[in-house]
Amino acid sequence: NAGVTQTPKFQVLKTGQSMTLQCAQDMNHEYMSWYRQDPGMGLRLIHYSVGAGITDQGEVPNGYNVSRSTTEDFPLRLLSAAPSQTSVYFCASTRGRRETQYFGPGTRLLVL
Amino acid sequence: EDKVVQSPLSLVVHEGDTVTLNCSYEVTNFRSLLWYKQEKKAPTFLFMLTSSGIEKKSGRLSSILDKKELFSILNITATQTGDSAVYLCAVPPDKLIFGTGTRLQVFP
């Protein structure tokens, strides 16, 4: 199993550009989540999904969209990038609510 | 509002010291508490605690949960430079809530 994979590893955007961060897992996990991590802020939940076709907002959803058309994939879309979205983004998946999350390696995003 | 608070925010010790990291929480529908270690990349799982008073142990690391007082501690004995990391505490209902972490630096 590859576990949780994320692409790209690093991306530089200009303000106003859009892009999609990819996340995939091959463990047949129901739950998938996107987090951003900023210095001194810990991990903050952006959006999450409890199964294919179901998504919900987390703590900091503004400026991001998600979809879950398959169990395996959970892409995160930045509609119009802003410098405040400069961060490290982690995708995670878990089999059930009480179980540990498996994290992807992260995507470092810089918005100029 | 659900919240998870970790202390201290930062800790600097010498090799061989013992450290205790704290995590307190206020969440509805508590099910479990998770500890993670984060070095340069994604957090890696350490422990999951669901029952009060039962210590989880892995080598020099151990953790215990107190559901009455709503906190957990992570102990690291005989610290090594490889223990230098940010240690995150998290409490999952549907939305996994993370503390801001404790940055541990171990110097030789």
CB distance from A61 to chain B under 8 Å?
no
CA dihedral B27, B28, B31, B37 (to 10 degrees): -20
State yes or no: cis peptide before B8, omega within 30 of 0: yes
Residues 6+ apart with CB under 8 A from A95: A27, A28, A29, A30, A31
* Confidence check: pLDDT of A84 > 90: yes
The residue of chain A with its CA nearest to that of B48 is: A100
CB distance from A55 to chain B under 8 Å?
no
Of B70, B69, B80, B60, which Cα lies nearest the Cα of B13?
B80
* Confidence check: pLDDT of B108 > 70: yes
Instruction: Name beta bridge partners: B68.
Output: none
* Confidence check: pLDDT of A98 > 70: no
Both tokens of residue B28? 């509805």
The residue of chain A with its CA nearest to that of B100 is: A42
Nearest residue, CB atoms, A50 vs list B32, B41, B94: B94
The H or E element that residue A111 is part of is: strand A107-111
Tell me if A23 sits within 8 A of A32, measured CB to CB.
Answer: yes
A104 contact residues in B (CB cutoff 8 A): 42
Tell me: the pLDDT tens digits for A45-73?
Answer: 899 898 899 998 888 899 999 999 999 99
Residues 6+ apart with CB under 8 A from B61: B46, B47, B74, B75, B76
Minimal Cα–Cα distance from A41 to chain B, Å? 5
